[in-house]
Structure 1
């Protein structure tokens, strides 16, 4: 689709700043609206006074829950919009001296104009995926609180007299028990929500058939890949997760080792590490690969990262193929026959 008008939107808790941008030779327009449905309707009215809404592309940053109402509004009216990473936009637009809502909205509009041939349109995830996303975020906060209480109580008991720490340790234990029960409840709710949606449940069953992929890893993959529709192949997913190695060379003077980029989803990367560690504990293709790399003299972390990438490749393969993961040669021969 050919876009003739680009609207960059900077979203905050109470307001949204919009900049209408057509080209570098034409003036841009700025207006602020409330971050609520009535403000969104005023935004469309403001745009229609200047341009036809048929060829408009809206560009906005990922701002979590603050952007969700606007995305729902665009989705209901079938308007074209693109959610972009703030880091991607910032590093693509050169030097920026000003920092305010209007400047950020202008930068987003200009980004959409410059990359209009490459930019990907966004789609609102299904209700099931949105519920899973919020539950995962809540679970992560619960785990963080639980770990903080556990460490504080252990350190207090180890370095202070019992008469000073006993009350705090006992009270902390009560909260830890309650948080543990809440985490278990969240896991049950995740399984219930996944089971209620046929498509999500089918993809979940395929993903968890791979050795080392459990509830948490599969749920995070479902959310961040939009039920595996956001990535064409496992290499792009590995790049997103931060497990893809990149070379470090320049001319004839710099010949560094290939290494992982720090730009990636750290939570997903950690979950894949847990899955890789679990996968190599039993005899299978992952442990065989890991042991072979160790025998070749590769560092353990390099070998483990290879297992992480193998997990991603197997998950993508089973989802695209539509059949469960084949764990051993006997199963493969049975399926082939």
Structure 2
């Protein structure tokens, strides 16, 4: 396990970065604030190097704050420095009992987290440019779909008010709805173009869609969530990430709760898998038999459907790892 001389905790916000420079041996620390820009980050790193600090002995650590972390991730990765991006909830729960909150204190907590949990270290790698584009486009599509639902809900008012009153907004509403639909189509076309132009992503999508019940939109989100199947070691870890892996709930002899899934999950992936599972049991005889068998074992419909979701994930990971499309063995059964 690599040992670092300095653990640099960074609390990321929109305009600034609160930095805590923690010495791994003496546990002495220094706090400073810089702008959240590539130029300021490079200047800070350059200043560290001037202090006779070996870049290989630096471990930068920050919370995953979405788009606000982009400057930090891209700049440090381009400079070849070690960066660890940790889920904010994990750092929060590792602190134990705490009172109050400030950016300065958060930066120090992050630095100490990286020191104490070095056995969990997982260095960040710069995501493929095409996957970054897909993630951004998918986010824009989600926002456009929400806007479309809001605008179309206005049509429900036409049943409860007079035509003379409703016509004041009808034309405006129709033009906005059509504009949003055109934008959604344009986004979807861009997504298809990006995947088609990338040989590896195109191959992965073809393999994913060969699994009965998995459609185009789910295949795209599989690629985004797994970063091209590079971030999860196996399908079980992804099932946990997606919120479909069951966990035991018991303690001693008094608490014997039922095994259930956890609410900490990628809700979008979970929702897509639910739709895929429902479709799968209607078009795939093998999956239908599996679903019915689980119900005969005494499981309720939702639990049996969750088993189908897990099986879909295992199939997707299997075909991608194997590199060959899904084969329906029932089609060859005598």
Deviation, structure 1 residue 262: 0.5
* 1:43 equivalent in alignment to 2:10: no
The equivalent of 1:58 in structure 2 is 60
Deviation, structure 1 residue 6: 0.9
Aligned equivalents of 1:84, 1:299: Cα separation in 2: 37
* 1:278 equivalent in alignment to 2:279: yes
The equivalent of 1:315 in structure 2 is 316
Aligned length: 332
Aligned equivalents of 1:126, 1:245: Cα separation in 2: 32
The answer as to whether partners of 2:56 and 2:82 remain within 8 angstroms in 1 is no
The equivalent of 2:161 in structure 1 is 160
The answer as to whether partners of 2:196 and 2:202 remain within 8 angstroms in 1 is yes
3-state SS in 1 of match to 2:80: coil
Deviation, structure 1 residue 270: 0.6
Cα separation, partners in 2 of 1:24 and 1:286, compared to 1, 3 Å:
farther
3-state SS in 2 of match to 1:67: helix
The answer as to whether partners of 1:56 and 1:80 remain within 8 angstroms in 2 is yes
Please identify runs of 4+ aligned residues in structure 1 that moved more than 4 A.
none
Correspondent of 1:84 among 73, 83, 86: 86
Deviation larger for 38-47 or 243-252: 38-47
The equivalent of 1:132 in structure 2 is 134
3-state SS in 1 of match to 2:282: coil
Deviation, structure 1 residue 331: 5.8
The answer as to whether partners of 1:59 and 1:84 remain within 8 angstroms in 2 is yes
Correspondent of 1:114 among 113, 116, 129: 116
Aligned equivalents of 1:285, 1:89: Cα separation in 2: 43
Deviation, structure 1 residue 317: 0.8
Deviation larger for 158-167 or 269-278: 158-167
The equivalent of 1:186 in structure 2 is 187
Aligned equivalents of 1:108, 1:160: Cα separation in 2: 57
The equivalent of 1:267 in structure 2 is 268
3-state SS in 1 of match to 2:268: helix
The answer as to whether partners of 1:284 and 1:327 remain within 8 angstroms in 2 is no
Deviation, structure 1 residue 328: 3.2
The answer as to whether partners of 1:243 and 1:269 remain within 8 angstroms in 2 is yes
3-state SS in 1 of match to 2:265: coil
Aligned equivalents of 2:253, 2:199: Cα separation in 1: 55
The answer as to whether partners of 2:4 and 2:58 remain within 8 angstroms in 1 is yes
Cα separation, partners in 2 of 1:276 and 1:179, compared to 1, 3 Å:
same
The answer as to whether partners of 1:326 and 1:332 remain within 8 angstroms in 2 is no
3-state SS in 1 of match to 2:270: helix
The answer as to whether partners of 2:212 and 2:284 remain within 8 angstroms in 1 is no
Deviation larger for 157-166 or 221-230: 157-166
The equivalent of 2:125 in structure 1 is 123
1:1-337 mapped onto 2 (5 Å cutoff)? 1-23=2-24, 25-48=26-49, 49=51, 51-154=53-156, 156-330=157-331
Deviation, structure 1 residue 92: 1.7
Deviation, structure 1 residue 50: 7.0
3-state SS in 2 of match to 1:281: helix
Gapped runs of 5+ residues in structure 1? none
The answer as to whether partners of 1:14 and 1:35 remain within 8 angstroms in 2 is yes
Give the alignment's TM-score, normalised by structure 2. Answer: 0.93
Aligned equivalents of 1:51, 1:102: Cα separation in 2: 23
Deviation, structure 1 residue 36: 1.2
CA RMSD in angstroms, aligned pairs only: 1.9
Give the alignment's TM-score, normalised by structure 1. Answer: 0.93
